[in-house]
Amino acid sequence: MAIVRLENISRIYHEGERDQVQALRDISIELEAGSMCAITGPSGSGKSTLLHILAGLDRPTSGNYYYQNQLMNRLKDREICRLRNTEIAVIMQDYGLLSYDTVLGNVMLPAVIGKRDSRETLAAAKDILNQLGIGELSEKKVSELSGGERQRVAVARSLLMNAKLILADEPTGALDTVSTDKLMDLFESVNQQGITIVIVTHDPQVAKRCPQQFRLVDGRIV
């Protein structure tokens, strides 16, 4: 069953203005639940735009985006936010962590927003941190962590709410080779649990580890 279906998605920035930019052109793809795919392409090809649309952070100018057969275009901001809180996790290149909060606080953030910050969730968060090998850092502030550790915190946060779809924007962009391999191992193990993973990357080595790949050039899939 397709978890994501894009039909002729186009995205135009500053439409009708002089500096109009067409970031995406007629993108049509389907992602099966439990799949792991990479979206590659040169800078400015529209990778991040596509990821933002998948995350509901941006809306297509035209075309339809179905997430689990519901048309995302029609959902209100509040409804999309609820989905992003519970089902669609996003890992940004800059990790998207609150630097002044602790590791545990960051991991618990979606639970707090989703009003599920119970003791069980707290225990689950600690479990996840232990599984990712950063359990001992739980009370440390994010600002004190290394890039690799921050990336793992971001992954831990995406796992807390049992997301069905994890979207990662250049997750290895700031990591060395060893950390990159470790992170990809982590993604593979998460994927084996049935979670769909979409990784936007320009690193061919990362893309190679994903069974499904889409290459974007000038906003088109080639």
**Applying CB under 8 A, what is the total number of residues that bind other proteins?**
31
Selected from 22, 26, 64, 81, the binder of other proteins by CB under 8 A is 81
**DSSP notation for 146-165:** -HHHHHHHHHHHHHHTT-SE
What is the phi/psi pair of residue 167, to 5°?
Answer: -110, 125
Parallel/antiparallel/unpaired status of strands 196-200 and 212-217: unpaired
Binding part of the chain for other proteins, among 44-52, 122-130, 197-205, 213-221 by CB under 8 A, reads 44-52
Site residues for other proteins, window 121-160 (CB under 8 A)? 157
The beta-strand segments (E) located in the chain are: 2-13, 21-32, 36-40, 62-67, 70-71, 88-91, 165-169, 196-200, 212-217, 220-221
State which residue, 101 or 181, has the beta carbon closest to other proteins: 101
> Which stretch of DSSP H or E encloses residue 126?
helix 119-131
State which residue, 95 or 187, has the beta carbon closest to other proteins: 95
Selected from 7, 26, 58, 218, the binder of other proteins by CB under 8 A is 58
Q: Is 110 in the site for other proteins (CB under 8 A)?
A: yes
Locate 34 and state its tokens.
């439990």
Q: Is 220 in the site for other proteins (CB under 8 A)?
A: no
Q: Is 182 in the site for other proteins (CB under 8 A)?
A: no
**Residue ranges binding other proteins (CB under 8 A):** 13, 48-49, 52, 57-59, 61, 77-78, 81-86, 90, 92, 96-98, 100-101, 109-110, 112-115, 117, 157
